[in-house]
Each structure stands twice: as structure tokens, then as C-alpha cells.
Amino acid sequence: MRQLDRYIVSTVSSAMFLVLLVVLSLDLVFAFIAETEEFKNNYQFVEALRYVATTVPRRIYDYLPLAAFIGCLIGLGILANTSELTVMRAAGVSVIRIVWSTMKPALLFVMLGILIGEFVAPHAERIAQTQRALDQGAAESVVAKTGIWHREGNVFMHFNAVEPRGVLHGVSLFRFNQNNQLIASIFARRALYQGDHWVLQEVTETELEDLQAVSRSEISRPWRTELSPEVLSVLIIKPEYLSIQGLYTYINYLVDQELNANTYLMAFWKKVLQPVATAVLVLVAISFIFGPLRSVTMGFRVFCGIIVGLVFKYLQDLLGPASLVFGFNPIMATLVPIILGSLLGIFLLTRVR
């Protein structure tokens, strides 16, 4: 029986890794082609290649659930086409035993996803985004095309690039009064963190008084804010690419600042529940092989797998913004597709004889 388990595990896991390799390769090719349109200043062929290569961990994390789902369809589909599943059932192997054997490589993908999502992808994404912004001349312009916005009290901030070690490039500060009128703006080429405050370098400040703008320049000046390098390292990348710990830290910061944290809450619950979502997708794949897709061609299985995977993803993507608009708990945006997928998989498996 152990030999049978190993055979199912090796067949399914091989299919999962093959799907991941194919999907990842295609995504990298298209990502590099897209980056060629962003060539600017020092950001050229080699820099674009380095940027795409640095984002590989994040892309692997994104495609792990899809690879597990379609890989399971293909792996079990091979066993079904060669009648090996029928022989296993005739030999007395239960459906539950086959499901558990198939789940083992899926659990490996889940563990791999947790490790990459927590310890590799966020760090690599920070490096990729920061270096890309610097190569494109982020320190030269007042507000670059890329960068991050933030608000603290009546001050709106924009940072063209953020280095993980506590260095900001292209810092723009816009101060408003109680009537939401702009009263001053500050631009600094760089800011360095000094333990309890920042030091702005090469500063240009413009104050608006009586419809007149008064500008002055300074070599450096202190800047005190509650933003720390740890918080900024969270801001630099999209919420869905952050680690669970990073999301938790920034959500607490937003709550302390009395700012809306729903976007980051949605990303937090999606990250926390992704292992469950992956397992549910694999369960659906298994139920399809034993149910409606038992005797169809491999191409049709892959087609159905892509459709179901996209429906699952788009349902989460639609419910996420809907939770922000209609005000229901962001966790429901992640739970609803998982619950529906679980019910579908269990229903189809209960009909297997």
C-alpha cells in the first residue's frame, strides 16, 4: 500500500511542478516584454532582466494554488486514462485513501507557499521595486510615476523609492490647513533614518502665503514622523505581496492613525486562508476526476481546470472590492469561494460509488 501511495504522490507532484514551470516561464516572458516599455534613464535591458528575475519568488507564490489545482487534474487524469484508478478501486483501495495520497503533494505546495510568502517573496519584492525606481531616476523628480503615497494628520507624503535599510529617495511632503488648503510643500532628494527621526537632505520648501509662493533651500533639516523603516518597508509593495507579519504590523499602525485598514485586512485574510484555499482547489480537482471529468480527454480537463480556477480567483477578486464598497467583513471575500468550493467537492465525492 505504501508503494501505491508513493506512486500516486510522484505522479501528481510531477504534474504540479510541471504546470508551475510552464506557467511561470510564460509569465516571466510576458513580464519582461512588458518591462521593455518602461526603459528609462539607467533602467535598460540588463536592469529589466534583473527586476523580473528578482520578482520570481512572488510569481511562484502567486501560481502555487493554480499549479496544485491543474497539476492534480492532470496527474489524476493520467491515472484515470490508463484505467489505473479503476484498478485501484477494484483492488479495494478506498476513495478516501486516494484523496489522502493526492493531498500529500498539495500539502507540500502549501508549506512551500507559506515559506516563500513569509520569508522570501516580500524581501525580494522590496529589493526589486526599490532598485527599479532608483534606476528610473526616482530621486530626481518631485513625484515619480511609481512610488507610494501616505497620509499622517494633515500632511500628505509621497516617496519615489524606499530602501529597506532606512533610506528614502524623492521625498515630497504636502501640508494642508483645516480648510483643506495647501499651505506648504517640501521636496527632499533623500532622507536618512537616525534612530528616532529622519534627516531630509537637499531640501526645497515652498510656502503659500496670500496667493504667493515663497521658496527656500536647505542642505538638511530634521523631520519627525511616526513612520519608521519597518512601516515603510511594508508600504513599498502591494498588500497582496506582503508577509502576514508585515500586514499585521501595518494594520495596527493604520488603526492607531485612525485610517481605513480594510484593504490590508482583505490581503491579510487572503494570505492566512490561502493554504485552505489551495487544499479546497485540490479537493475540487479530485472530485472532478472521480465525477464529471472521469472519461474525458486531457485537453478538456485542463480547459475545465483553467475555467474553474479563474472563476475561483475572480470571485475572490470581485468580493474583495465589494467588501470595501458595501462594508461587510473582508474575511467573507476570502471565505465565500472557499466554502462554495468545499461544498462542491464534497458533493461530487459523495456521489462516487
> What is the pLDDT averaged over residues 193-216?
86
Closest CA to 305 of 4, 2, 112, 16: 16
Name the residue with higher pLDDT: 262 or 15.
15
What pLDDT sits at residue 320? 78
Sorted by where each begins, the domain ranges of the chain are 2-135+262-350, 148-231
Q: Distance (Å, rounded) from C-alpha 115 to C-alpha 109?
A: 10
346 secondary structure, DSSP code: H
- % pLDDT > 70, the chain: 93
Q: Distance (Å, rounded) from C-alpha 243 to C-alpha 266?
A: 13
Kind and range of the H or E element at 348? helix 330-350
What pLDDT sits at residue 7? 92
Q: pLDDT of 60-75, one tens digit each? A: 999 999 899 889 888 9
Question: What mean pLDDT value characterizes the chain?
Answer: 86
Residues linked to residue 221 through DSSP beta bridges, in sequence order: 200
What pLDDT sits at residue 304? 77
- Cα–Cα distances in angstroms (integers) from residue 292 to residues 18, 192, 247, 296, 299, in the given order: 24, 61, 40, 8, 14
The residue type found at 26 is L
DSSP for 133-146 reads HHHTTTTTSSS-SS
Q: pLDDT of 19-76, one tens digit each? A: 999 999 999 999 999 999 988 888 899 999 999 999 999 999 999 998 998 898 889 8
- % pLDDT > 90, the chain: 33
Q: pLDDT of 315-330, one tens digit each? A: 877 887 787 778 778 8
What is the Cβ-side half-sphere exposure of residue 265, based on CA atoms within 13 angstroms? Answer: 18
Q: Is the pLDDT of residue 141 over 60?
A: no
Closest CA to 280 of 301, 311, 302: 311
Phi (first) and psi of residue 22, to 5 degrees: -65, -50
What is the Cβ-side half-sphere exposure of residue 234, based on CA atoms within 13 angstroms? Answer: 22
Q: Distance (Å, rounded) from C-alpha 100 to C-alpha 107?
A: 10
Q: Distance (Å, rounded) from C-alpha 100 to C-alpha 260?
A: 42
